[in-house]
Every structure is written in C-alpha cells, then in structure tokens.
C-alpha cells in the first residue's frame, strides 16, 4: 500500500477500554476541535498493518492544514512525496519518480484523511457516529466514525483527542488493513498565507493532468 493511499482514501492493533456517551457529547468533541483549530502544523509517524497485525509500512513526515480544505502533506521517509491542496486542486508530487499528478477536488475524495481533517463538512457528510465511545485508559478522548456508504475506502475511523488537540488517527479500510497516524510537535492556529497552498511543478518533471482543465 503506497503513501498515495493517504490521499485516495489517508498501526498497530489498538486495544482501548471504552465507555459509552451520547451522540451530542461526541459531536461536541468533534466540533470543539474544528471550531478551535483554524490551522494546524504537526509532525507525524504513519504505520500500516495488515489483517494479521503485522506492520508492513512505516513512514514519517509533516502536515500543515488551513481551513477550509487547504493542506500540505509531506512524507520525508522512506520516500519523499508531497500532497498540496488549495481547496480546489490537489497536486501529488513524487520526488523520486519526478512526477506530478494534478486532480480536481470533488466529492469522490471526500473520505481522505487530509480532507477529513481540513473540513468537518466531510466528516458529517461521509461518516456517522456509531457506537459512540470515549477511551479512558490512555487519557485520550476517542471518537469513532462509521462510513455511511459501502464504497468508502475506510469503513471505520477513530480520532483521539487530548483536549482540543488531535493526537492520533486510526483508520480501518475495507481490506482489513489498519493505518495509524500519530502526531507530535503540534502547533495550532499559526497563520498561513493562501499562496503557500499553491504548487508550481518543477520544469524537469512529468505532469499528469492540468489545473486549467478542471
């Protein structure tokens, strides 16, 4: 599973002691995060595990997002890749392959982790709160989301909050694989200029797609 899955869609097996709360309380947790976090900058560690719980891929990188729908996702190790969105267009830059893919943002990629984090509209559009629970054993508040449509890439998403800060994302896909993102060095509400979320492909790379064509 390539790092592109983070966009086309976004561990270790997670064992958490849960206690039920109401849907109103869970919505408050989500809304508190979205309303208090207009921008976010963080480093991350990503781990992908197969159906047997074996880690099959590890990567590190950093994330910058600015509401609504703008983000820069950069993988540093083991391979350098960048994903940039200005809210209308997304650029996918594979540094090693010297290739840039350009896509128009529409409802078909609304279930990607980056899009979920940059817009709460996507969460409520594509997911519903199912078996609403909060984890108690690790000091984090865990929100569980269930996909509304069977064709969604991720059937279930867990978001872990510490106060207003998102600390982890755990995503279960339809093939039984689990992707976990752990965030660190988190900076909230740092100002970012809109121009930072536009990307001009280097002259010496292959470009697939076109901004003007969208």
At 112 the pLDDT is 67
At 64 the pLDDT is 95
pTM: 0.80
Domains identified in the chain and CATH numbers: 12-198 (2.50.20.10)
The burial of 118, by beta-carbon neighbours within 10 Å (0-12 exposed, 13-18 middle, 19 or more buried), is given as buried
At 117 the pLDDT is 83
Q: What is the mean pLDDT for each group of 10 consecutive residues in the chain (214 residues)?
A: 46 39 69 89 96 94 92 94 92 96 72 72 73 60 85 86 89 92 96 95 92 54
| Edge-to-edge order in the sheet of strand 70-77 | 127-129, 141-147, 154-162, 165-173, 178-188, 39-49, 55-66, 70-77, 81-86, 89-94, 99-104, 206-208
């Amino acid at each position: 599973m390539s790092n592109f899955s983070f966009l086309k869609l976004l561990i270790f097996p997670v064992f958490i002691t849960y206690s039920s709360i109401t849907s109103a309380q869970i919505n408050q947790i989500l809304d508190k995060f979205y309303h208090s976090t207009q921008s976010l900058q963080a480093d991350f560690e990503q781990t992908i595990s197969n159906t047997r719980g074996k880690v099959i891929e590890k990567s590190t990188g950093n994330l910058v997002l600015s509401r609504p729908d703008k983000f820069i996702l950069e993988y540093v190790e083991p391979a350098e890749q960048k994903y940039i969105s200005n809210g209308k267009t997304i650029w996918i830059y594979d540094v090693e392959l010297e290739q840039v893919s350009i896509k128009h943002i529409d409802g078909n990629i609304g279930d990607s982790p980056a899009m979920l984090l940059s817009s709460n509209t996507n969460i409520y559009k594509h997911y519903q709160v199912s078996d609403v629970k909060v984890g108690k054993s690790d000091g984090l508040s865990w929100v569980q989301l269930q996909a509304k449509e069977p064709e969604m890439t991720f059937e279930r998403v867990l978001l872990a909050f510490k106060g207003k800060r998102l600390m982890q994302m755990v995503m279960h896909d339809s093939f039984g694989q689990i992707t976990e993102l752990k965030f660190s060095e988190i900076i909230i509400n740092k100002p970012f200029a809109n121009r930072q979320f536009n990307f001009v492909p280097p002259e010496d790379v292959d470009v697939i797609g076109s901004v003007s064509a969208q």
